[in-house]
Structure 1
């Protein structure tokens, strides 16, 4: 990542199930509106519950391809290209993914699904190393402290396994046409906070430096402790961008006690994109960031 700037070209990529579901939901809402029909009227005519159609249009549940064709027929859509494309997306949206086995719910479930398809992942972390960049030992230590539980606690282990699976999914995408880019900025305090002990933390920083060797995938930045123009004090967040503008940017903020939230509205994502760019512009990037990570690691080892 060049000093004071971050540039990327969004790659062309196939649409994944989460983005496909969101696209189907949006298009079905639009077509119903264009037909001048209410949710209640369509639900009655289709012999569905209002709840079913509402959840389909919100992207909360998937829809069968045959149901898509039935809806479009009800809306007077006869263009075979539209019928075929929405049916194809509906089939894609129903494909089972690795994260299904974790039985996630709420905003975090949506976040993991979107992250799995993002072309660019922008992470800002004020307190600890971002999850996609954590070693297993560091993940166990930081999760145990967050939950105030033993590192071998079942809930701790479940969260660590999910984090490792997120990383595995990321690395499996690196050789494909939808290879993602991860741009992570962390506060210098993260480097100096010896979570799990000094040796474990030093190994975590070794891991960051190893990841940074793949500079086509990973770009690291650090906001130094003496930074005056610090735009990240409001808290950590992750921003997801998608190939070919197939979906609006997604903002995820992981809150305390499971109070997570996920936003796609343009005002919130634009504001956080600007905040992130400030962190890149005014923080340390490139070799300067890596040198700060090395010096922190060496200090942990008494060098």
Structure 2
């Protein structure tokens, strides 16, 4: 992404609706500030409420291409390439995706949309197997436990269906443009905890090994129980990266009681990137990680 004085708004590579909406929102806010105009002044000129303009600039809502062009004209932007870039992104941002049918909201909705467009997904999980790597049976069991309800509850079913849809969307992108890669470090305690019973957990361990062995897109690491230099005790997180310079890194933390949050500031994402690297440096990766998973599976199978 270049300054508004440059010839390019975003890299020529295609982006998805979430990154497109975020890009439009950010640049519209920058343009208004560079023009020295207040939100109230611009909203009055456009015959909008200040709330509408604010929500557009925060990326909370999409904006129509004609509205974008009207705003750009008000800001004195005349470069046709830049106008075309804005219009393209505005159209892209309004494209409906598979996750629209799940009616998500809040930080988790933003996370699912960002995850679907990320080219690198790095996950540290200290509590359970990451959602993108769960079997349906494990997903039902862990969701029922966290919600303290029956595995057949409708709320459990809805959450599991979303998780399976996230997995399907991830694997459907493999081999295509900006094919994603997933690297997950999992705490050893997660692998030993028989969520759903021994049979369910054995299937889950087999599934992890199968993913790591059959696709080059999934890599696994393990933070062993005897790890002394453990940087991940502060909690689980997922760090997303995108193609070229289309969007900065996105950090997602799934907290208790639904208090999820997203961070995009460089300080937070860089800190967690370094933390993840610590886990790779001091934990087990590659064949050593898979050997540990196999040994845990064999122990559980023989017990």
- When normalised by structure 2's length, the TM-score is 0.95
Q: Deviations over 1:30-59 (max 9, x none)?
A: 111111111000000100000000000000
Separation of aligned partners in 2, 1:50 and 1:177: 38
Hey, what's the Cα distance between the residues in 2 that align with 1:260 and 1:215? 30
CA contact (8 A) 1:21 1:93 kept: yes
Query: Secondary structure of 1:245's match?
Result: coil
Question: Cα distance, 1:300 vs. partner?
Answer: 1.1
Tell me the SS of whatever aligns to 1:116: helix
Aligned-pair CA distance for 1:14: 2.1
Q: Is the 8 A contact 1:252 1:263 kept in 2?
A: yes
Tell me which residue corresponds to 2:167: 167
Instruction: Check whether the contact 1:13–1:177 (CA below 8 A) recurs between aligned residues.
Output: no
Q: State whether residues 125 and 236 of structure 1, in contact with CA within 8 Å, keep that contact through their aligned partners in structure 2.
A: yes
Alignment-derived partner of residue 222 in structure 2: 222
1:68 and 1:203 map into 2 onto residues whose CA distance is 51
**Whole-angstrom distance in 2 between the partners of 1:90 and 1:214:** 38
Contact preservation (8 Å) 1:219, 1:286: yes
Q: Which residue of the partner structure matches residue 149 of structure 2?
A: 149
Distance 1:220 1:212 in 2: 7
The higher-RCO structure (CA 8 Å, 6+ apart) is: 1
- Give, in whole Å, the separation in 2 of the partners of 1:104 and 1:168: 18
Query: Does 1:269 find its partner at 2:290?
Result: no
Post-superposition offset of 1:178:
1.7
Are residues 269 and 84 of structure 1, via their aligned partners in 2, closer, same or farther at CA, if it must alter by over 3 Å?
A: same
SS of the residue corresponding to residue 240 of structure 1 reads strand
Aligned residues: 292
**2:115 maps to 1:109:** no
Contact kept? 1:236, 1:253, Cα under 8 Å: yes
Secondary structure of 2:61's counterpart equals coil
1:94 matched residue in structure 2: 94
Q: CA deviation at 1:13?
A: 5.2
- For the residues of structure 1 that align with 2:131 and 2:253, how far apart are their CA atoms? 13
Deviation, 1:214, is: 3.7
Equivalent residue number for residue 196 of structure 2: 196
Query: Unaligned regions of 5+ residues in structure 2, if any?
Result: 1-11
**Residue matched to 2:72:** 72
1:53 equivalent in structure 2: 53
Alignment RMSD: 1.0
1:215: Cα distance to partner? 4.9
Distance 1:13 1:66 in 2: 23
1:302 is matched with which residue? 302
Q: Which residue of 2 aligns with 1:4?
A: none
What SS does the aligned partner of 2:129 have? coil
1:252-294 CA distances to partner (integer Å, 9 max, x unpaired)?
0001111101100111111100000000000000000000000
Q: Where does residue 158 of structure 1 map in the other structure? A: 158
Question: What per-residue deviation string (whole Å, max 9, x for no partner) do you get for residues 54-87 of structure 1?
Answer: 0000000000000010000111111111111000
Please give the TM-score of this superposition, normalised by the length of structure 1.
Answer: 0.95
Distance in 2 between residues matched to 1:130 and 1:272, nearest whole Å:
17
Aligned to 1:41: 41
Partner of 2:82: 82
Moved over 3 A (4+): none
Q: Distance in 2 between matches of 1:59 and 1:94?
A: 12
Gaps of 5+ in 1: 1-11
**Distance of 1:77 and 1:175 partners within structure 2:** 38
